[in-house]
Structure 1
Amino acid sequence: MRKELRAGDVAVAPLPGGGFGACQVSGITDEAVTVHALDWFSPEPPDLDDLRDAGPVPLAYRGLVDRLAQISVFRSNSPMPPDFDWIGNLPVPPGVPDHVNAYSGWASPFGDMARQRHWDERVPAETKAAFRAARESESVTADLGAGPVTLPTSTSSLHLTSGTIPVPATGPVDWTILDLLPRCAQVLWAGPDRGLTEALTRHPLVTDLHWSDAPPVVDLRATEVRSLRVAGDSLREIRLPSAAHRLSLGAARERVTVRAADDGRWLDLELYQVTPSTRAPSGLTQVRSVSLTGDGVLSAATLAGFAAAHTLELRWTAPPGRLDDPSLLLHVPSLQLVEMFEAYGVDADITSSLPALRHLSIYGLRGSVARELRARLRRTDVELSLRGAKTDSWLAANLDNPFRDWADDDTRAGAAACKAYATALRAIDKLAAAAPAAVAPASAADAAAAADAVVSGAEAILRELIDKLHAIDEKYEFIDTIRREEAGDAFAELAARARVPSDLAADWFDEWRDF
């Protein structure tokens, strides 16, 4: 952290969805800085005099009580957003604690403030009353048109894509289910609109929407949706409410046009399922924060049109973690904060395409690149945070191993997990290659018998993998929720290589695991 902060320092920054607010340093320790939002909103940035009488922001949205919009931020690995403008120092308001045991990023109090403003100004009194009256122990029965379902009245997320709630395959959908779920703030939906948008206009508490297999035009302007995750091969145009602050857009067959307030000035934009040929959406020339997520290879060409962006996140979900055409980053000249994850194919020359760089953070890179970056940036003003560096020899053996990053937290546990996976992978591939089905069976019966033999053999291999992971967890107390999910993904991929039915593989994993 380059800026030397003091208790009472005040920063002005854009609020999610538009306008400006302010935060103040509550207190500082060697480990963290604690900040709280100040109760201020204006279309233009305030000055220090405007904020002299501003107190902290008490939170009351969605049942919160006795809390302020306040967070602690770790000093070591929390880069300060480029649009924080530190304008001076004021006395900390009475009653504001100098530290809280809740940790997040610098922008967290601003997000809380935006959510509180939505609750105060956009949610009707009767909706708030129904929210408060809902009880965990109570349930309701509803029917969307394909059969009844019973849900707790306290349900906050309505998942209509998992198959657990009956939805008619075609025809009308009865959206009165939302009237019966007074705490529902998120909806997951797939396919044509079928009355969804109209229903959302009547339910201002729903601010989070996930929409897969979306229709050509998604028009949410009359809703209160603030965060949208959307994808679909047919998708061509998205029309967002003026206060929307986050858009996660999956790759589509053709370029998507997005209509947002001030050409995306107030949006955080994530593009996922990205490939090197993915074209960025049009209409978002003023976006400040962009994230790309994809397998293997990304391209800086995808960033064309985002010349105003100051923050970039690149996240690879599979090897080799390479960025093509890095020189095209020069067409985004304002980039100051760049974060990368699993960037094993990125070299140190990338810094030559980032003239405005102020903070570079990489989690997962080659050790040789880490050394060169430290040498290049040692006498510059760039803050550098590098974690998870690995040797070339280690990567040669483990780059494709889904447990490769486990070694970052515990070298021995991670190495054991990588070895267990590699052993299972070799056995699965050997089993599949040796199966009679691989050499054109004489009959359908022979093919079925061969497939059964492979599944039977895979069962023993996968069971051994789970046993080894159990032993690792017992020895190192290592497998937390995230690693359990990563283990489940790896298990499913191995099972798929042996053509084990996915539902059977899921049953095995849930039945065998004890971590």
Structure 2
Amino acid sequence: MRRDQPPRPVAVGDVVAVYSDALGAWTASQVTGIDVAEKCAAVLELDWSGPEPATVADLGDVQPLRLTHHSWGGKLSHCNRSWVLPRSFTVIGSLPSLVTAPSYSYASVWGRGEQLALQRHWDSGDREDWNAPYALTCTADELAAEHTRGIVRAGVKHLTVRGITRLDCARLVSAFPDLTRLSLSGNLGTLTSAAALNQLARLQALTVSELFGMDASDCLLPRHVPEVEEVSLYGIPADYAAAMRKAWRSHVRHGVELDVRGARKPEWLAANAANPLRDWDGREHIPRTAYRKAVAQYEATRDAFLVEVTGGEDHGNIVEIGRAFGTAFNALDSRSPFIETVEREELFDALDFLADEAQTAAGRELTAARAALIEGANSSRDW
């Protein structure tokens, strides 16, 4: 597999077709550029849907998809995506590029007609949000309530479950037997019976984030789920991550996007259970040294805050603790800037986390102390 070419052959000008659940028909797009350095392909979606096309001639006089719904303002549906052409996409021929200007938008997943469906919904005059009938997004608690009632949702093909503390994958598979796309996320939550996901014979995409409890024996196996074309794992057990890489690496050339990051050993899990900045560990733009110093500063702030609230809650001192927190992260960020919007929100979440911990330890409400801590951080921060 050559490093200077997409793993699955595709070239500028190629027109690719895929079945779209959103449209209930086939749709098409064109590759308008390939960036070897970034390993991405510029993809222009076409304003077309219909029966499965055999060649570009079956598309007729195709035009680029121009988006006017919501706040798009007439922009082309033109986006840089991973250069791995998903296995469900078929190259049906080639045409001169319908656009020559580069795209400055980026997304990892190739579109499957969702934007065209949204545009047609908008063009019909209906300004209400379009909700795909085959897709469901819910919390783990909402899913548990359905499991209790024994509800089977055979019509759901795309399922996103957030806020998982504990989830039995065997029960999930029984309740949603027709899934093609599954996304599961938590905050050091636990998945049990993860091997049961191999029973989802039509599965095309699996995303798992910040969930544990799986091991190598729970690996998703290509022979059981031959249509999988996207495996995205972050913050998962190290042995599970290694097994998944080994099982799927050779399938990249057949159109599988494989992204496995944040493999964690049991020791890491034990050490970071009470570390709200643990997601920074291994984040691409955060230097390793900055991460270690950030955790040390968080721990110092937590300890100082706890001493104050258990010793009388002097709000003046707490404001100073918050100010020191803001100043410390100013210094860290000035050396090699890494605090962006997400990190800024996570730092304030960390302050809330330590205040919650202190409130539990003190056995009383700490509303004023929490506010003083945040006031101090806001008064000194540059991030």
> Structure 1-normalised TM-score?
0.60
Partner AA of 1:411 in structure 2: R
Partner AA of 2:156 in structure 1: V
Give 3-state SS (helix, strand or coil) of 2:119's partner.
helix
Partner of 1:483: 343
C-alpha distance after superposition, 1:99-157 (max 9, x if no partner): 312112444473332332233222xxxxxxxxxxxxxxxxxxxxxxxxxxxxxxxxxxx
Query: Are the aligned partners of 1:287 and 1:308 in contact in 2 as well (CA < 8 Å)?
Result: yes
Partner of 1:10: 16
Counting only pairs closer than 5 Å after superposition, residues 213-232 of structure 1 correspond to structure 2 as 224-226=128-130
Q: Which runs of 5+ in 1 are unaligned?
A: 123-203, 206-223, 227-243, 246-263, 436-449
Query: Are the aligned partners of 1:57 and 1:68 in contact in 2 as well (CA < 8 Å)?
Result: yes
**What is the rounded CA distance, in whole Å, between the counterparts of 1:347 and 1:299 in structure 2?**
15
Deviation at 1:431, TM superposition (A): 4.5
The 1:400–1:52 alpha-carbon spacing in structure 2 relative to 1, beyond 3 Å, is farther
RCO (CA 8 Å, sep 6+): is it higher in 1 or 2? 2
Partner of 1:361: 232
Counting only pairs closer than 5 Å after superposition, residues 291-440 of structure 1 correspond to structure 2 as 291-300=160-169, 301-316=171-186, 318-319=187-188, 321-352=189-220, 355-356=224-225, 357-377=228-248, 384-408=258-282, 409=284, 410-432=287-309, 434-435=310-311
Indicate the structure with greater helix content.
Answer: 2
Q: Which runs of 5+ in 2 are unaligned?
A: 1-5, 360-365
**What is the rounded CA distance, in whole Å, between the counterparts of 2:89 and 2:247 in structure 1?**
28
Partner AA of 1:23 in structure 2: S
Give 3-state SS (helix, strand or coil) of 2:175's partner.
coil
Query: Are the aligned partners of 1:365 and 1:390 in contact in 2 as well (CA < 8 Å)?
Result: yes
Query: Are the aligned partners of 1:458 and 1:495 in contact in 2 as well (CA < 8 Å)?
Result: no
Query: Are the aligned partners of 1:278 and 1:302 in contact in 2 as well (CA < 8 Å)?
Result: no
Identity between Structure 1 and Structure 2 (%): 25
Partner AA of 1:364 in structure 2: G
Partner of 1:137: none
Give 3-state SS (helix, strand or coil) of 1:425's partner.
helix
Aligned mate of 2:146, from 242, 267, 279: 279
Q: Does 1:73 align with 2:73?
A: no
Partner of 1:117: 120
Structure 1 vs Structure 2 CA RMSD:
3.2
Partner of 1:209: none
Q: Does 1:268 align with 2:135?
A: yes
Deviation at 1:273, TM superposition (A): 4.8
The 1:472–1:405 alpha-carbon spacing in structure 2 relative to 1, beyond 3 Å, is same
How many residues are aligned here? 354
Query: Are the aligned partners of 2:322 and 2:375 in contact in 1 as well (CA < 8 Å)?
Result: no
**What is the rounded CA distance, in whole Å, between the counterparts of 1:15 and 1:324 in structure 2?**
30
> Structure 2-normalised TM-score?
0.79
Partner of 1:133: none
Give 3-state SS (helix, strand or coil) of 2:262's partner.
strand
Partner AA of 1:370 in structure 2: A
Counting only pairs closer than 5 Å after superposition, residues 162-241 of structure 1 correspond to structure 2 as 204-205=126-127, 224-226=128-130
Deviation at 1:470, TM superposition (A): 1.8
Deviation at 1:404, TM superposition (A): 1.4
Partner of 1:24: 30
C-alpha distance after superposition, 1:465-498 (max 9, x if no partner): 2222222112221100000011111112223434
Give 3-state SS (helix, strand or coil) of 2:301's partner.
helix
Partner AA of 1:272 in structure 2: T
**What is the rounded CA distance, in whole Å, between the counterparts of 1:457 and 1:17 in structure 2?**
60
**What is the rounded CA distance, in whole Å, between the counterparts of 1:458 and 1:17 in structure 2?**
56
Pick the structure with greater CA Rg: 1
Query: Are the aligned partners of 2:210 and 2:235 in contact in 1 as well (CA < 8 Å)?
Result: yes
